[in-house]
Structure 1
Amino acid sequence: MTTIVLDIEGTTSSTQSVHVGLYAYARPRLGPHLDAHRDDPEVRAVLAGIGAGGTAEAVEVLHGWMDGDVKATPLKTLQGRIWAEGFAAGELTAHFFPDVPPALRAWHAAGHRLAVFSSGSVAGQRPWFRHAADGDLSVLVSHWFDTVNAGPKREPASYERIAATLGEPSGLLFLSDVPAELDAAAAAGWRTIGVRRPGEPNAAAPFGPRPIVTTFEEIHP
């Protein structure tokens, strides 16, 4: 059995679907969500992480992070909460490349374990997989990791933490479109495959001496 750990943006799903669709949905809802959930411990932690007193100041910081594509934990947490509400309300639908759902179902049926490691919060990952256009894919995933419970995606220590949960690194396979993430996983003893999706931002990135695919159909764990 292989445990296949999936990146999302640029790997299972288009970058545009996240940056244009989800970001545009979350942006005007940041302030209202903060105001409506100020007594929630997770929201209080978000505000503490931003270091801002009022809502307007917090939103200004959050918008700056969004504009700079900063992988800040408070932003990812808040976005995940807003996206979960959007999916639950039927206002959002997740995008997956056409080859992904059949591959995930086939791997799962063959006895392989599936996990996700994304910079987006676990709160956002679960509904993304649950609300795929062709059915609930979240039932196929056994573990969810983000920068809060694992650490930065470009640091080997994060993959070591994940391995402490999933098992021996030699049995772990990481799929990503970001060479630096793959390098970090490889440094932690994982197997890695670079995913080169045509039209994606990292389509021309140098992946080094590792297997590279353009579709999940090419992967045989």
Structure 2
Amino acid sequence: MPTIPPMPKLPLGFLGPQAKFKTFKLDIFSHTNSIIRLFNGNQVTIRIGYTYPTLMDFELQNADTGRDGSKYVYKEIDEDEQVVKFNITLPRKGSWKFMIFAQPVHDEAGGSGLENVYNYLLLCARISKKAKPYPRQSKEWREGFALRSPTDIGPDKAGTEVSFSLTIPNASGVSVVIDQEWTELERMSSQSNEWSGKVFLHKRYFGYGEKVSVNVRFQENCPSYATVLEYTI
């Protein structure tokens, strides 16, 4: 059996629920032990339940080097079950800190921002699947949003046309932006929440950390767009 990495040094009280976890009426739907030992692979899904609409964000960080690995986490929101799923594929063996942040939607206007509510330690002994970076989801990525494609934009997409397909409720416009070039996606029908379109990604975009963002306008005739997804290519 693969050897689990040793426990790193962590601040007292770092692991488990933090001060606002119960205040925000959150619950653990998957891993009640804040130390998750991964003997046979580098993938895990952590499920956090909520009582009322809640914004959630996260950070994944190597406990030994401080290296950020948040791009290897994909967040899904299940409205029916009232649960947020964090799908994690660790990029390498070792010890990883996974930190969850939250803020009730009704506190968004006057609150102090997202608060750290729960922390895990992931101890990975073996890599079973190569990690590919997911697009980074902003706090504007909310209930009912869904991404079908693309889940990643790798070097194989250079010089090709890439299909974007998303569900974005209550949007009046959705665009893909790269190097200040905007491509508007099309709504499938006048009452649909489905948006899709194709974007050509020039080879010159790749290899320099260029960003590809999905931006959403929520009010008709409003010039303001919110970034909901961001790919790094």
TM-score, scaled relative to structure 1: 0.30
Max Rg structure? 2
Please state which structure has a larger fraction of its residues in strand. 2
Higher relative contact order (CA 8 A, sep 6+): 1
